[in-house]
Structure 1
Amino acid sequence: MDDFNSLMHGFSVAATLPNLGYMMVGLLLGVLIGVLPGLGGANGVAILLPLTFTMNPTTAIIMLSCIYWGALFGGAITSILFNIPGEPWSVATTFDGYPMAQRGEAAQALTAAFTSSFVGALFATLLISFLAPLLARFALRFGPAELFAVQLLTFCSFVGMSREAPVKTLISMLLGFALATIGMDDMTGQLRMTFGFTELLKGFDFLIAVIGLFGIGEILLTMEEGLAFKGQSARISPKVVFETWWALLKHWKLFLRSVAIGCWMGITPGGATPASFMSYGVAQRLSRHPERFGKGELAGVVAPETAAHAAGTSALLPMLTLGIPGSPTAAVLLGGLVIWGLQPGPMLFTENKDFVWGLIASMYLSNVVGLLVVLTTVPFWAAILRIPFSIIAPVIIVTCAIGAYTVHGAMFDVYMMLVFGVMGYVFKKLRIPLAPLVLALVLGDKAEANFRQSMLVSQGSLGIFWSNALVGGLTALALLMLVWPLYGLLKRRLARNEIAVSA
């Protein structure tokens, strides 16, 4: 009952005129970011984060989270109308969304995508509303050893669940750890890897790295590929909306299954992109007519969009309660909390109730408003895509530079942004994932501090990570996730040997 009263209080916080205004601004910017290839939810939040430093933290997090929700909605527009994924998680939507548009059913496909996104986010927000307070109260029992075990589990899960080669994930993560150690050691006061640059005494600001890695890196890659927009037009009428909603009712099992997949991949460090592909694959496997997938099947739009939005929303659950981000965007928001002077974790629910419950209430409001916005403004967003990318790209680069300079008011940050931009471009060319690097950069110093505190408490004994059932279970699960790819590799080799022997 107390949690329900807190949620009602959250609605009174989120429904104030300034918060509603910034919510609308965030949604519109988010849809624009989702529509434009070369940007994305994490990029948009990172680029615009410096502009929120003077805002009230509650207003700032509402606007930034709405940018993310809007990007999730907007990614479907380019996928369906232009066969160009505006976001990585929208790739699976192109498989059936674009064929539907080619058949003249673009309005139905877009309505299904937006509605599915809304349903996925709604269920994930309900999950956060019910589970977040319970998880936060449970997490109050965590000491340094338990916190390090949770962080270790997060790092190992990225290795075990990544779609990329484990070696590439480890390379990205280890580089993030190295960057996180630059600057002054908080415990000894010694300088580490500053190489004589006084600007590095406080280390790398994660925001500079994120703007460069995601924003500049993606723009350089997109410019190299020479993007051109040629697609279908669409206008959504009320009649089409209600007819599509009626047709979607028979897919209620698919909705529930996709929500479950999305929420699981959001809470664990899977993310929206693997969730969309996994949900699409499961939907095709369990369908009565799997041969229709890839040719314009409505279920092929519903499954990935529901899972992606559920994953993107539920990723905030571990971020708010444990200080562990479940996605790159959640990692950027986590850094924002620290900049605003808020400590993510269980005490957030005790010390900053207005902030937490205002954010949760804004999730309900923003998804309702977001659904109405995208349903009524599709022709406008499609028209923006007619602007040549040669005009859009410089505007984005200048915006990134302004965002980087705003962090500390130093040109050194702009130069470092460009360095990270080149690094992001190289990583994308080599297909090395960026999310593990960002995660390690954000959590690396916290994991190091918790590990060293654990060693001080135990007088250097690693047995502290097996000292009780909770920390021992977390550590064991982390090690299992770390070696999981070896099991898959061994299984594939045994299967090859059996085929060779039978031949």
Structure 2
Amino acid sequence: MEQLDALFHGFAVAMTWYNGMMMVVGLLLGIAIGVLPGLGGPNGVAILLPLTFSMPPTAAIIMLSCIYWGSLFAGAITSILFNIPGESSAVATTFDGYPLAQKGRAGEALTASFTGSFIGSFVGVLLITFLAPMVSKFALRFGPPEFFAVFLLTFCSFVGADSKTPSRTIISMMLGFGIAAIGMDTVSGQLRMTFGWYELLRGVDFLIVVIGLFGLGEILVTMEEGLAFDGKHAKINTRVVWETWKELPKYWLTLLRSSAIGCWMGITPGGATAASFMGYGIAQRFSPDRDKFGTGQVEGVIAPETAAHASGTAALLPMLALGIPGSATAAVLLGGLMIWGLQPGPLLFVEQKDFVWGLIASMYLGNLAGLFIVLSTVPLFAAILRIPFSIIAPVIIVVCAIGAYAVHSAMLDIWFMVLFGILGYILKKLSYPLAPLVLALVLGDKMESAFRQSMIGPKGGLAAFWSNPLVGTITTVALLMLFWPAIAFAWRKLKAMAGGREMAARQMPRP
């Protein structure tokens, strides 16, 4: 009851005309940032942070958080329409979102994406509102072994879900781990695979690889196959939104499961990108249509978007309650709080009630407003597909180049984009999955650091991953998912052998 009273007070704070205006401005800026590859929520918030120094802290944090919500919403737009993730967390959305757009169902894919994002965020805000003390204590239990177990579970969910060609999934994943290892070793400080190039000291940026693999690679495949040189025609109207909403209730379990995964990954913190991949992999694992994933399934769009938005929202909980940022954007916001003279932690909820509960109320209002803004522009975004490919392809290449250059303002990054575009073309022609490569690239450094810290810790050795019930449960579930195809295959063989012996016993002549 105390939380509800504080929340209603927060709505009164957030709904003042000035805070409401900052909310809308933040959403529009976030949508523009999310559409542009190479920027993303953390960069957008960091770039615009100086503009808020003259604002009241409550209005400033509302505007910055709404920039983040808008970028998460909009990251799916280019993923679905052009196969270019506007946000790193939107990579998994390309797997089924882009095929849906190619089938003339762009409006359906965008509507499902935006709605899933709203539901995931709503669950995350509810978690912040009612479970802050309990969740904060739980987050403190995560050390290097727990982080490694979470990352292992993410990878194993992908390998376990691929019952047809797990070897190709593993090869793609190993390639991603190799690229992630380029640069400075985060534990020892030694240089790895830099070949004397000082430009490689910082490694190869994830966004550059993604822009090349998905953006340029898709264009090369399309040009080689001579397809899609005419614009795609899709019937986009308000009816599409309503029809998609009617279909969503049958995916209620996927929505709840992805929301739970996202909240967990946001609090621990695993990040929105890892949450989206895990949400997609587990949805595929438990879906009756798992073999159709990657060909244009609405469930394959809902799962990663719901998990990513839930993670992005839940990441603010440890930042507010403990002063521990759960994501890159939360880290930027934490810096803003320090500049404004606010100290995150348990006392923040006591000493700065207007600020905290005004921010939480703005999460409800901002996500609801963001949903209506992006849904109202679905016809505009989907109409882009009607432009002939011969016209839109050069524009996409220019946008990719700008996005790659914007990451570090380095010409070398554009050449890396071209290199990974060619690699993406080769892998697609050989039918190798790109998702495991991207996932390994995103989490490779973090997973390696967590593993090595676990090995040199006080409970060093593999026993560290079963040192307490929490990490032991996660590790065991991960290994079960990894070996599930082999277990299922052995079970089917045993059943077939038992059935064969029973049939042979029936056919034997009785004495």
- The TM-score normalised by the length of structure 2 is 0.67
Match status 1:69 vs 2:73: yes
Match status 1:186 vs 2:153: no
Contact 1:88 1:273 (C-alpha < 8 Å) held by counterparts: no
State the secondary structure of the residue aligned to 1:56: helix
- Write out aligned runs for 1:97-496 (5 A): 114=111, 120-131=116-127, 133=132, 134-162=134-162, 165-225=165-225, 226-227=227-228, 228-236=230-238, 248=246, 254=250, 256-260=252-256, 262-263=258-259, 269-272=277-280, 275=283, 281=289, 309-316=305-312, 364-373=364-373, 376-377=376-377, 379-458=379-458, 460-491=460-491, 493=493
Query: What do the CA deviations read for 1:106-144 (whole angstroms, capped 9, x no partner)?
Result: 9xx96x984x66654444223212446444430211222
Q: Which amino acid is the alignment partner of residue 211 of structure 2?
A: I
Q: Offset at 1:87?
A: 4.6
User: Partners in 2 of 1:163 and 1:352 — Cα distance?
Assistant: 49
| 133-142 vs 349-358, which moves further | 349-358
User: Partners in 2 of 1:265 and 1:194 — Cα distance?
Assistant: 36
Query: What do the CA deviations read for 1:244-288 (whole angstroms, capped 9, x no partner)?
Result: 79x94xx79636445335436756644458748966859xxxxxx
Contact 2:179 2:441 (C-alpha < 8 Å) held by counterparts: yes
Q: Offset at 1:412?
A: 1.4
Cα distance, 1:4–1:409 mapped onto 2, change above 3 Å: farther
Q: Offset at 1:192?
A: 1.4
Cα distance, 1:136–1:162 mapped onto 2, change above 3 Å: farther
| 452-461 vs 49-58, which moves further | 49-58
User: Partners in 2 of 1:431 and 1:232 — Cα distance?
Assistant: 28
Query: What do the CA deviations read for 1:155-194 (whole angstroms, capped 9, x no partner)?
Result: 2223223577322222222222222222222333322111
Tell which structure's C-alpha radius of gyration is larger: 2
- Write out aligned runs for 1:53-68 (5 A): 53-56=46-49, 62-63=66-67, 65-68=69-72
Query: What do the CA deviations read for 1:417-460 (whole angstroms, capped 9, x no partner)?
Result: 21122222222333333333233223222222222222222475
Contact 1:176 1:441 (C-alpha < 8 Å) held by counterparts: yes
Contact 1:23 1:366 (C-alpha < 8 Å) held by counterparts: yes
User: Partners in 2 of 1:431 and 1:358 — Cα distance?
Assistant: 49
Equivalence for 2:24: 20
Cα distance, 1:460–1:26 mapped onto 2, change above 3 Å: closer
Cα distance, 1:217–1:70 mapped onto 2, change above 3 Å: same
User: Partners in 2 of 1:195 and 1:410 — Cα distance?
Assistant: 18
Q: Offset at 1:8?
A: 7.0
Cα distance, 1:122–1:61 mapped onto 2, change above 3 Å: closer
State the secondary structure of the residue aligned to 1:55: helix
- Write out aligned runs for 1:83-98 (5 A): 87-90=94-97
Cα distance, 1:64–1:162 mapped onto 2, change above 3 Å: farther
| 457-466 vs 260-269, which moves further | 260-269
Cα distance, 1:402–1:460 mapped onto 2, change above 3 Å: same
Stretches of structure 1 that go unaligned for 5 or more consecutive residues are: 34-42, 79-85, 283-299, 324-332
Contact 2:183 2:202 (C-alpha < 8 Å) held by counterparts: yes
Q: Which amino acid is the alignment partner of residue 66 of structure 1?
A: G
User: Partners in 2 of 1:400 and 1:414 — Cα distance?
Assistant: 9
User: Partners in 1 of 2:79 and 2:404 — Cα distance?
Assistant: 25
Question: What is the aligned length?
Answer: 441
Q: Which amino acid is the alignment partner of residue 229 of structure 1?
A: G
Q: Offset at 1:471?
A: 2.0
User: Partners in 2 of 1:367 and 1:128 — Cα distance?
Assistant: 11
Query: What do the CA deviations read for 1:189-229 (whole angstroms, capped 9, x no partner)?
Result: 32211112121122222232222223222332344442133
User: Partners in 1 of 2:153 and 2:477 — Cα distance?
Assistant: 7
How many percent of aligned residue pairs carry the same amino acid?
Answer: 41
State the secondary structure of the residue aligned to 1:204: coil
- The TM-score normalised by the length of structure 1 is 0.68
Contact 1:276 1:308 (C-alpha < 8 Å) held by counterparts: no
Cα distance, 1:172–1:358 mapped onto 2, change above 3 Å: farther
RMSD of aligned alpha carbons: 5.0
Q: Offset at 1:60?
A: 6.2
| 149-158 vs 68-77, which moves further | 68-77
| 403-412 vs 354-363, which moves further | 354-363
User: Partners in 2 of 1:383 and 1:410 — Cα distance?
Assistant: 34
Equivalence for 1:328: none
Cα distance, 1:122–1:428 mapped onto 2, change above 3 Å: same
Cα distance, 1:94–1:252 mapped onto 2, change above 3 Å: closer
Contact 1:254 1:303 (C-alpha < 8 Å) held by counterparts: no
